[in-house]
Homo-oligomer: A and B are copies of this chain.
Amino acid sequence: MRIVFFLYEGLTTLDIIGPHDVLSRLPGVEPISVSKDGGPVMADTGALGLVATHAMTDIDSCDVLVVPGGVAGTFAAAADEEILDWVRRMASTATWTTSICTGSLILGAAGLLDGKQATTHWAAMDLLAAYGAEAVTARSVQDGNVVTAAGVSAGIDMALSLAATIAGDEAAQAIQLGIEYDPAPPFDCGSPAKAGPEIMERASSVF
């Protein structure tokens, strides 16, 4: 089972690294990463980069495709016809096509969300309709073989659920314990409903 993590310039690294550290540890999988030209890409923070193991031209099929979000970089990727063609081709071969955060806008731009329920980062929810998707507020949404997760850290929850679907509950539980995912956030403000308008406004200026 080949799992492809897509990397592009300006991505939010936690979007892809959460699922990477979950799904790559499934038994018997071939986890690889792909960037447009196989070279490194810079994170949206500018503080570090990610390097892919493959270029888009190297890889023409997969079982699971994972597409992360980002800020400006995501809009550039969603307007790049070479990327969209490749995402469409990969999705046509995949058992599961997944996104995290605004990665769903790339799936949408590739035409993969038309008529589907989907989610994204809370601040981008209004943008899904332009791709014919029905926006749903949820930690993750499955519609057919497309699974979209909410913002950034939601990719960890989505990937653990997908791991259970692919390899069974015990395999997923072993990974959850392995990454010691027993979350204890210091605040209860991880969604707009819990955070309130002041923190929302402040968050909007950070991202």
Contact = CB atoms under 8 A, between A and B. Distances in A.
Interface string A1-31: 0010101000011100110110011010001
Interface in A46-61: 46-53
A59 B7 CA distance: 28
A174 B191 contact: no
Dominant SS among interface residues on chain A:
mixed
A173 interface: yes
A43 B170 CA distance: 24
Nearest to A205: B174
Contacts of A136: none
A59 to B, nearest CB: 13
Interface of A: 3, 5, 7, 12-14, 17-18, 20-21, 24-25, 27, 31-33, 40, 43, 45-53, 101, 121-122, 139, 150-154, 156-157, 160-161, 164, 169-187, 189-192, 194-195, 198-200, 202-203, 205-207
Nearest to A21: B14
Copies in the complex: 2
B157 A186 contact: yes
A174 B151 CA distance: 13
Given A20-B48, A48-B50, A53-B47, A181 B190 contact: yes
Contacts of A172: 186-187
Contacts of A153: 156, 179-183
Nearest to A179: B152
Contacts of A169: 187
A121 B179 CA distance: 9
Given A5-B48, A48-B52, 12 more contacts: A13-B20, A48-B51, A48-B53, A49-B50, A153-B180, A156-B183, A170-B199, A173-B202, A174-B203, A178-B206, A182-B191, A183-B185
